[in-house]
A and B are shown apart, each in its own frame.
Chain A
């Protein structure tokens, strides 16, 4: 259940070892969320995350469980939903922090690798998000938070495989927000710029780069207000809008 301040009791983090997912979970635990289920590929990393989440609040330690989940595996989402029902009873909030950046330069030459990036970020992920939202619709409430990316706003030469998948997911999730209104389920799509995390550690930061904790705080503030989209940092909204309308000849020459 949610309380009046929109703090969920039971939270599912899909992509359970994601740093942004972990930050969101920690901030929710600080506010009083009591049960978490982390779903992801690395049990070891998730157990580390689980320890951090349960240590956030001294008065009432949150209970955190972990489950192996690979969005590419057959039947994975069905088992995840069954586990969520057993562990959480109701999925009040689901944070979708699944993503893989890939390596544009080599993936371009390997359509199989490109396919996996598109599956992880969009074509297999979107049906999973739909299944979670539909389960929430039977509860009559719920909030899906989808981590999108500025990369999907205008797909760029430098990472068009990841970018196009994110563009697909962003469009899917924002329209899902509209579709879910009659069912009482809310969807918030987060569009961070460059976030300094493990996933991007090998890259040099782009302008307006931000941190996982900042993304988490802005995400939850937007979710509290029931906003469908949120840019982090907020200025990114302006930059992205300008960038989207740049003539192609100019956009092509921008290095990031």
Chain B
């Protein structure tokens, strides 16, 4: 087939949470102009690096389209990078940080593709000031069942904002152009603060997050009572040349990022239980300084600590895990407190739960962030209490006009998502124009009855 590599194979796929395995037919685009014929029944969906936690980038019995992580075909002009849809932020950082450029937005992992970054409209620690990845995108090439076309933010805003955050349901993003940010060094200047409870944390974030380009808090979700919400807040910005001293000042743009360890594939379930996570959380909290300023950290330490362990998702064992991430608008702090109480009293063993403030929303029809608070927590699958707990949390989120993040979701009900994303109908209308036969589908879209 034109534009499709001979590489076509059947594979068992899951999301990052390893919870819903399905067999699908994997096809890799080889970079030459791709053909709309790649879209077939019962459904076709693009897949980047498989970091969506649930079933967003798979379709059982259907076709899953991947693209090579080929950063050599990228070009940087006037601070705008043009890169293929399959190119990872990892490759981009390795190539461009040494030249003094950083990606506009990075999530907690650098192993996401450009296409996935747009489709999930990813956010990072700078959302409160700089918005999502798509906010920095000027245009992308979208392969759809009616052909491939360049979609620019100004030229075709409808399709642009249906695709940004659209979970791949409008087509395959084969190339994108987005603004990079100039940096003087490959280091971060970081402030770390330990906060004793939720009130202290929220007051600090509301009061001074605007002074920091990047900000995120880790919360101990097992702490209850007066120490509920005890946390470690890290904030910072790219270090300037003047901030560096010693040996690193001689080679300020030296950047090296690779996993230092690998989780073996045979790990059993149950390693992360309430006792082990309580111990970890206690240590993490205690080792954090009450306040440390002007610490110089490497980029991977600050942004991508978990990427240091390859395949860290395997530590959850064969049954996998899920991530629960929601956003609540400003003014719903009481709801956030009630949700944290529920999580703490259920003693869900979640380590590295993170809280962050979001800034302004963008026009993306399914884009997740909106101004307020977002909490993300990993939860191992296993406890039978999970069903009830997560349903209760869904209701609290919905009642507080909040919503769940589709890139993380692996279990919400169709009605819940429909209530949280009232513009699904607009997406369907725009999608129908580029996919009149309804060939673009994912397990997520089928599970949630989207389109």
Contacts and interface: CB of A to CB of B under 8 A. Distances in A.
B320 interface: yes
Given A9-B447, A140-B61, A140-B62, A4 B24 contact: no
A9 B446 CA distance: 10
Nearest to A220: B384
Contact of B410 (A3, A31, A182, A224): A3
A5 B381 contact: yes
A143 B447 CA distance: 16
Interface in A1-38: 1-7, 9, 31-32
A34 to B, nearest CB: 8
B320 to A, nearest CB: 7
Majority secondary structure of chain B interface residues (helix, strand, loop or mixed): loop
A32 B413 CA distance: 8
Nearest to B443: A1
A32 B415 CA distance: 12
Nearest to B17: A4
Interface in A204-232: 221, 224-226
Interface string B315-358: 00011101000000000000000000000000000000000000
Contacts of A221: 384
A139 B60 contact: yes
A141 interface: yes
A141 B60 contact: yes
B54 interface: yes
Contacts of B410: 3-4
B20 A140 contact: no
Given A3-B410, A5-B411, A139-B61, A226 B318 contact: yes
B22 interface: yes
B62 A4 contact: no
A5 B54 CA distance: 11
B140 to A, nearest CB: 28
A184 B381 contact: no
A100 interface: no
Majority secondary structure of chain A interface residues (helix, strand, loop or mixed): loop
A184 B25 CA distance: 12
Contacts of B360: none
A224 B12 CA distance: 18
A2 B61 contact: no
Interface residues of B, number: 31
B362 interface: no
A33 to B, nearest CB: 11
Interface in A118-155: 137-141
A183 interface: yes
A76 interface: no
A5 B387 contact: yes
Given A9-B447, A31-B387, A225-B319, A1 B55 contact: yes
Contacts of A225: 319
B386 interface: yes
Interface in B35-92: 54-55, 59-62
B129 interface: no
Given A3-B410, A4-B322, A138-B61, A184 B17 contact: no
B23 A3 contact: no
Contacts of B30: none
A31 B415 CA distance: 15
Contacts of B322: 4-5
B252 interface: no
A239 interface: no
A141 B413 CA distance: 20
Contacts of A72: none
The 9 residue pairs across chains A and B that have the minimum distance between CB atoms: A140-B60, A184-B23, A4-B410, A140-B61, A4-B19, A140-B23, A1-B447, A3-B411, A141-B22
Given A5-B19, A5-B386, A141-B61, 19 more contacts: A1-B60, A1-B447, A2-B20, A4-B381, A4-B410, A5-B387, A7-B411, A31-B387, A60-B413, A90-B60, A90-B446, A139-B60, A140-B22, A140-B23, A140-B60, A141-B20, A141-B22, A141-B60, A182-B23
